[in-house]
Structure 1
């Protein structure tokens, strides 16, 4: 295990920095995602930070296109990331055409249309604490090999350590360096959810469903829709879908 961990750490350390890398933890996680993508023969890798109170945000992705697959899960309220987080267990789907539509009836056809054929989600957790999920996407169906599976679990462990180290160095009450936007967007979503609930006289759950439906129909990020609601650029009426 020590040699395998050292190998993964070297892969991340040797990953070239990019001009668009975020600062602090976000930059490290971006390099982790890129290194994991190559090491696991993946078309993309993403890390999302999550909490049990519903806070969710994309921390880093190997490629900007992967952010769409991550965000789509939050918009639709279903997918491997959410399942891995709630069950505390890896979600391994080597072929999205084999029964995945029953698990995620909206998410599966959406990502399948974008060419994804397999997805593997690994919860980021230590003890009772859950921090988020590492998602691995592939454009070809097939299982992870035993070596790839062990390596994916190590990448997940390194992501946990990175998040914990970053939070330890952060000012009490604030997010780790580079994760402000990821968590701030979710706080904005909660505010928008409350505003829609009050305006329409519905529950918070129904308000979130309205926000998600609008984001999906307009092909927009859920966070962007929430931002427009908070800024009062977008209002929901009772007869509006």
Structure 2
């Protein structure tokens, strides 16, 4: 999968060997799953020992019990989500019918994963919005404290707080929290 930050990651695997093969693809930036994703088409390797498209990747996985690979892109509404793949320890494990089946599986899987990703993004954005509103309220309260104590305007209090933020190398909301907490501790 391509995660929300654009990094490649395996979302699930049935065997640690699969994770090793995937990790090598991500490290090298080449391999059948990455090609299926990039080219938006199924990729079939009948025998890894005879594969020539990704020589560095195939050379590095020769010690793993993998001989055949079938990978298909996960795409929904034009968004490239990742790829689904099946590895086999036997050569020539996959045929045209296998390609047909993985493509049929990839479509609903992509929809499901795309919806899950959208839901996570919405939840993340919602929590960030709640935090931003909370910080805004805290900053406003701190401004009120400074306006009352120092007889400053709202703009002047913001300048004071921004200066303290830069000088103390702290986020503005932390400076605001210190001002408000200082008020309640007195």
TM-score normalised to the size of structure 1? Answer: 0.46
SS at match of 1:56: coil
Whole-angstrom distance in 2 between the partners of 1:149 and 1:87: 15
Q: 2:38 aligns with which of 86, 99, 107?
A: 86
Whole-angstrom distance in 2 between the partners of 1:165 and 1:111: 33
Contact 1:79 1:107 in 2 (8 A): yes
More helix by share: 2
SS at match of 1:71: helix
Q: How many residues align?
A: 125
Unaligned 5+ runs, structure 2: 126-186
* Corresponding residue for residue 106 of structure 1: 56
Whole-angstrom distance in 2 between the partners of 1:171 and 1:134: 22
Whole-angstrom distance in 2 between the partners of 1:96 and 1:52: 31
Q: Greater relative contact order (Cα 8 A, min sep 6): structure 1 or 2?
A: 1
Whole-angstrom distance in 2 between the partners of 1:80 and 1:142: 15
Larger Rg: 2
Q: 2:10 aligns with which of 46, 55, 58?
A: 58
Whole-angstrom distance in 1 between the partners of 2:12 and 2:4: 20
Whole-angstrom distance in 2 between the partners of 1:95 and 1:114: 13
Whole-angstrom distance in 1 between the partners of 2:28 and 2:123: 29
State yes or no: 1:150 paired with 2:108. no
Would the alpha carbon gap of residues 171 and 78 (structure 1) be closer, same or farther in structure 2, given more than 3 Å must change? closer
Contact 1:78 1:104 in 2 (8 A): yes
Structure 2 counterparts to residues 63-78 of structure 1, below 5 A: 63-78=15-30
State yes or no: 1:139 paired with 2:84. no
1:150 Cα deviation after fit: 2.3
Structure 2 counterparts to residues 33-48 of structure 1, below 5 A: none
* Corresponding residue for residue 209 of structure 1: none
SS at match of 2:71: strand
Contact 2:31 2:54 in 1 (8 A): yes
1:173 Cα deviation after fit: 7.1
Unaligned 5+ runs, structure 1: 1-48, 176-241
